Amino acid sequence: MLDCTDRHCRCFHRLLSTQALLYTEMVTTGALLHGDVARHLDFDASEQPVALQLGGSDPSDLAHCAQLAQRWGYSEVNLNCGCPSERVQRGAFGACLMREPQLVADCVKAMVDAVTVPVTVKHRIGIDQLESYDFVRDFVGTVSQSGCSVFIVHARNAWLKGLSPKDNREVPPLRYDWAYRLKRDFPHLTIVLNGGVTTTGQVLHHLAQVDGVMIGREAYHNPWWLSQWDRDFFANEQTLPTDGVATGLTRERVEQQMVAYMDRELANHGTPWPTIARHMLGLRHGLPGARHWRRVWSDASLKALAPERVMALAHGED
């Protein structure tokens, strides 16, 4: 979700679901060790609970960055062992780390020893054309001995050569049954399934087999779906409203809240509204007039206008 789940996107998504755990885009250890820490780690308190996803392969560097995450107030630190891009491979982290489960275990152990917040791992089920459940089972078994109890399983292989990151999300076949088998083989671990999930029915089906489901692209492109999550997936855990109407949650209300957020960001940080608006372009997905609404909010030639004015134009008001 690089260039997608920045802090503006997360503030938007938090308006739609108060309960879902949000994740940052992957931040490399190098960016935190040698770059602008505040730019990478700053977030709004309203985003909580939010997890920082790290990319790296050096235990001491990851431990230091995990400490930064805890100091900044993140609820969880997640190590990415699933990204297949060649740029990430050149940095010797991401999905290629699955070839070195003991190194991943050492990285996790260093982070677990350094912080008190949970340390989790996101990974694929295999690498390239290696089709073996034993591979991912042994990976999880080795890494879990280092103190990691939560594994987010993208249920596809990562093809490190010959496929783009986009193709890697679509071409390798999904094997949800392997994630189910991991839960059966490691009942004491929390297994979260990821990959290709687009409907509430699918989520509920998977939750009968595993402990959680991570949603990526569908949540970004069809964000109004999130407005149902508190009711559909969290209502049994605490007292929550049974529908969005009871809380005043409508697309129009969310849009108004985002306009107010744009005003604050411009005043406080000089952030132009198009930088924020791009994340909410799917809000009216499937509704009449959605194309016009989306076209107005994505029109950079209007960036000199106040967000309130752009919203009026998007709804056809003079």
> What does each C-alpha distance from 203 to 168, 198, 308 come to in angstroms?
21, 8, 36
Q: Say whether both 94 and 61 belong to one domain.
A: yes
Q: What angle do the packed helices 7-16 and 251-269 form, to 10 degrees?
A: 150
- SS3 label, residue 309: helix
Tokens of 112: 């677990």
Q: Say whether both 40 and 121 belong to one domain.
A: yes
Average pLDDT value for the chain: 92
Range of the structural domain that residue 207 is part of: 7-240
CA nearest to 10, candidates 50, 52, 55, 37: 50
User: Which listed residue (83, 96, 107, 148) is catalytic?
Assistant: 83
Cis-peptide into 49, omega within 30 deg: yes
Q: Say whether both 79 and 130 belong to one domain.
A: yes
DSSP string, 66-85: HHHHHHHT-SEEEEEE----
pLDDT tens digits, the chain, 318 residues: what are they? 778 899 999 999 999 999 999 999 999 999 999 999 999 999 999 999 999 999 999 999 999 999 999 999 999 999 999 987 766 655 667 889 999 999 999 999 999 999 999 999 999 999 987 889 999 999 999 999 999 999 999 999 988 877 777 777 778 899 999 999 999 999 999 999 999 999 999 999 999 999 999 999 999 999 999 999 999 999 865 444 444 444 578 999 999 999 999 999 999 999 999 999 999 999 999 999 999 999 999 999 999 999 999 999 999 976
- SS3 label, residue 42: coil
CA nearest to 117, candidates 56, 29, 54: 54
Q: Say whether both 76 and 140 belong to one domain.
A: yes
Instruction: Kindly give the pairing relationship between strand 119-127 and strand 150-158.
Output: parallel
Q: Say whether both 271 and 150 belong to one domain.
A: no
Q: Catalytic residue at 148?
A: no
Q: Is residue 226 within 8 Å of residue 218, measured between CB atoms?
A: no
**What CATH number is associated with residue 123?**
3.20.20.70
Q: Rounded to an integer, what distance in angstroms lies between the CA atom of residue 87 and that of residue 149?
A: 29
Place of tokens 């402990």: 211
Q: Which amino acid is at 63?
A: A
Report the pLDDT value the prediction gives residue 29, as an integer from 0 to 100: 96
Residues paired with 1 in a beta bridge = none
Sign of CA dihedral 106, 111, 114, 120: negative
Q: Say whether both 22 and 154 belong to one domain.
A: yes
Q: Rounded to an integer, what distance in angstroms lies between the CA atom of residue 6 and that of residue 67?
A: 20
Q: Structurally, how many domains does the chain consist of?
A: 2
Report the pLDDT value the prediction gives residue 129, as an integer from 0 to 100: 79
Q: Rounded to an integer, what distance in angstroms lies between the CA atom of residue 264 and that of residue 7?
A: 14
Place of tokens 């070195």: 100
Q: Say whether both 215 and 158 belong to one domain.
A: yes
CA atoms within 13 A on the CB side of 213: 24
Query: pLDDT for 152-189, tens place per residue?
Result: 999 999 888 777 777 777 788 999 999 999 999 999 99
Query: pLDDT for 70-126, tens place per residue?
Result: 999 999 999 999 987 766 655 667 889 999 999 999 999 999 999 999 999 999 999
Q: Say whether both 233 and 257 belong to one domain.
A: no
Report the pLDDT value the prediction gives residue 250, as an integer from 0 to 100: 96
